[in-house]
Amino acid sequence: MDADLTISLLGQMRVLVAGSEAVLPASRKARALLAFLVATGRPHRRERLCELFWDLPDDPKASLRWALSKLRRAIGSPEESHIVADRERVFFDPGGVRIDIQDIRSALLDPERDIPLGTLEHMVRQLDDSFLDGLDDAGDEAFNAWLAAERADVDSGRVELLKRILAHPDTAPLAAGKWLALLRSIDPYTADALEQRTVSRPIAQSSEMSSYLPGKAGKNGVLERLARARAHAVRAQKIGFCDVPDGTRIAHATIGTGPPILKAANWLTHLEFDWASPIWGQCFADIAGNRSFIRYDERGCGLSDWEVQDLSFEAFVEDLEAVADTLGLQRFPLIGISQGCAVSIEYAARHPDRVSGLILISGYAAGWRLLATPEEQARRDAVIKLTELGWGTDNPAYRHIFSQTFMPDAAPADLDWFDEFQRRSTSPANAARFQEAFGHIDVRDRLAHVDVPTIVFHSREDQRIPLELGQALAAGIPNAEFVPLDSRNHILVDREPALDVCTRKIRGFLKKHGI
C-alpha cells in the first residue's frame, strides 16, 4: 500500500498523494462516496452505497462503478489502491494513510496522554472547519443524518480539546479566557460548570496576575489561572469611548491597577479580541501585572468608528491625544509598536510634560512612500490593490501576505489566528487606506525634539521594517537606548526568546528611570 497518502475531511475534503494534491472527480456524489468510505472505516454493501448516493431511474450500479474507477485513478494506481471492492462490498483500506479527523480522535482516546499545548491548540483550530464542508445533500436523507451525527461528534471533540487546553499547565492566563469563551459558544453548560469550579473563592486583585504566568501556576494550576483569566477578560477590562474633535468615536480599554502605561494603536487592534491573543497575550499580561494598562483602537478599526473621512497620521495623533485627555492621564510612559512608534514620538514632542518615557518596538521615522525603492513601492501598491479586492473574503491568502511578513517564524496556528483577527478588525477599504497612510509618515524632524528617556527595540532580521530604520530611529532621539532582538518577526510572538528579552528590558527600563 502507498504509505504517502493524506486525507483531510475537515473543511473541504482534500487528498494529498506524495505531497501533491490529488484532483478528485468533480462529481459531489463521487467525493461524498470517498469521504463516507474513509470516515466510516468499514465495508459497505454495494446496494447500500447505491441507495445512499444515486436515485432511480438512473443506473445506480453503473454510477457506483464509474465513481470507484475515477476515485482509484485519483488517489492511486490500479495495482495499488486503497479502495478495495468485490462483487458485494466496497471498503477503504486505511493502512499507512494519514486522516486528519482520525488523528485527532486517536489522540483523545487516552485521557492520560500528555499532548503539548501547541498541538492541542492546532487541533482545536482544525476542528473550526466544518466536517466535509460543501457535501451537504450529496446523498439521500440517510447520508445527511450520518453527516449531522459526524459533525456533532466533531463538536464533542472540540469540547474535549478545550477542556484539555484549559487544564494544561502552560496555558497563559489571558489565553484561558479566550478558550473558555469558545467553549461557552459550543457547550455553555460545560463552560459554566468549569468556571464555577474555578471561582469558588473571591478573585484576587489583578496585580497578582504576574504570579500566574506560564510556568508559575502553583498546585491549583488551571483553577487559579482560569479564574484570573476570566476576571481579567470580563470584569477587569473596562471599555469606554471618547470623541475626537472631528466627531470620530474612539474606543479605549484599561486593564489592571497601579500607575498608568499607555500603548499607542498600531496595525491592527480590536479591544475585544487582542487581549487574549496568542501573539500579544503574554506581553499584555506582563504589562498589566502591576499597572493600569491602557489600549485603544484607532479610527477605522476595532471598536472605534470605521466610517471616517480622515485616516491620516495627524488624525492618529489626535486619537492618542483624545484618549489621554479623556482618561485624565497626567504623566505616563508610552509604548509604540510599528507605526505606533511615530505616533508616540509626535505625541512626546508635543507634550513633553506628560510623557515620562518612550518604549518603541519595531518602529520607523519615515514611511515607505518616502524611503522605499521604486520596485518596493510598486510591490506595495500591488498589495494595496489585492487588499481592496480580497480582504473581506473567506480566502485568507490576501491577509496572509501581511501575516507572513509580520511574523515569518510564528507557528501556523498563530498565523491563522492573525489572519482571522485582521479580517474581523477592519474593512477592506480601510485596510488599504491604512497602508497608504503609513507610507506617508514622516517624523524625522521630530526626533531631536523628544526629551524623555527612550528605549528602542528592533528585530535584527525584521522582514517588514529593516533593522537600519530602527537604528536610525534610536540615533535621532537624544540619549535613546537601542536593543537589537534576535528574531525575524516584526511583531514578537508568545514563547519566542526575543519577547522574554524585550519584556525583561522594559521592566528594567521603567525601574531604572523610576517611571
Distance (Å, whole) CA 78 – CA 80: 6
Closest CA to 43 of 91, 88, 87: 91
Helix ranges (DSSP H) in 187-235 = 188-198, 222-230
pLDDT of residue 409: 83
Distance (Å, whole) CA 371 – CA 439: 9
- The pLDDT tens digits for 166-184 are 888 888 776 787 788 788 8
Determine the topology of domain 5-99 in CATH: Arc Repressor Mutant, subunit A (1.10.10)
The mean pLDDT of 93-106, rounded to a whole number, is 90
Distance (Å, whole) CA 297 – CA 222: 31
pLDDT at 478 over 60: yes
pLDDT at 131 over 60: yes
Closest CA to 431 of 345, 302, 332: 302
- The pLDDT tens digits for 75-98 are 875 556 789 998 889 999 988 899
Q: Comparing 30-44, 45-59, 143-157, 196-210, which segment has the lowest mean pLDDT?
A: 196-210
pLDDT band at residue 275 under the 50/70/90 scheme: low
Q: Comparing 77-91, 158-172, 496-510, which segment has the lowest mean pLDDT?
A: 77-91
pLDDT of residue 360: 98
pLDDT of residue 434: 96
pLDDT at 298 over 90: yes
467-494 b/e with 16+ CB inside 10 Å = b?
eebbebbbebbeebebbbbebbbbbbbb
Q: How many helices (H) and strands (E) does the chain have?
A: 19, 15
368 close to 434: Cβ distance less than 8 angstroms: no
Closest CA to 191 of 219, 220, 159, 237: 159
φ and ψ at residue 28, rounded to 5 degrees: -60, -35
- Angle between helix axes 28-40 and 141-167 (nearest 10 degrees) is 50
pLDDT at 195 over 60: yes
The total of other beta-carbon atoms located within 10 Å of residue 122's CB is: 17
In the chain, domain spans: 5-99, 173-232, 237-366+444-512
Residue 251 pairs in a beta bridge with: 241, 297
Distance (Å, whole) CA 252 – CA 294: 7
pLDDT band at residue 430 under the 50/70/90 scheme: very high
- The pLDDT tens digits for 211-240 are 322 333 333 443 344 444 434 443 457 889
State the DSSP code for 129. Answer: S
329 close to 431: Cβ distance less than 8 angstroms: no
**Chain position carrying cell 489572519:** 419
pLDDT of residue 412: 77
pLDDT band at residue 113 under the 50/70/90 scheme: confident
Q: Comparing 25-39, 257-271, 319-333, 387-401, which segment has the lowest mean pLDDT?
A: 387-401
Percent of the chain's residues with pLDDT above 70: 86
The mean pLDDT of 453-471, rounded to a whole number, is 95
Distance (Å, whole) CA 375 – CA 379: 6
Q: Grid coordinates standing for 280?
A: 500579544
Closest CA to 430 of 301, 318, 269: 301
Rg (CA), the chain: 27
Q: Where are the beta strands (DSSP E) in 207-316?
A: 238-243, 249-255, 260-263, 292-297
pLDDT at 129 over 60: yes
Determine the topology of domain 237-366+444-512 in CATH: Rossmann fold (3.40.50)
The mean pLDDT of 374-382, rounded to a whole number, is 89
The mean pLDDT of 47-52, rounded to a whole number, is 90
pLDDT of residue 243: 93
pLDDT of residue 348: 98
pLDDT at 323 over 90: yes
pLDDT at 325 over 90: yes
Coil, strand or helix at 367: coil
Coil, strand or helix at 484: strand
197 close to 213: Cβ distance less than 8 angstroms: no
pLDDT at 17 over 60: yes
Highest mean pLDDT among 34-38, 141-145, 253-257: 34-38
Residue type at position 85: A
Q: Comparing 199-208, 264-273, 310-319, which segment has the lowest mean pLDDT?
A: 199-208
Q: Comparing 130-134, 190-194, 246-250, which segment has the lowest mean pLDDT?
A: 190-194
- Indicate the pTM of the whole model: 0.58
pLDDT of residue 125: 87
213 close to 285: Cβ distance less than 8 angstroms: yes
pLDDT of residue 398: 65
27 close to 67: Cβ distance less than 8 angstroms: yes
Q: Comparing 21-30, 148-157, 327-336, which segment has the lowest mean pLDDT?
A: 148-157
Helix ranges (DSSP H) in 234-363 = 281-287, 313-326, 339-350
pLDDT of residue 277: 65
pLDDT band at residue 481 under the 50/70/90 scheme: very high
**Residue-averaged pLDDT of the chain:** 84
pLDDT at 14 over 80: yes
pLDDT of residue 388: 81
Percent of the chain's residues with pLDDT above 90: 48
Greater confidence (222 vs 113) lies with 113
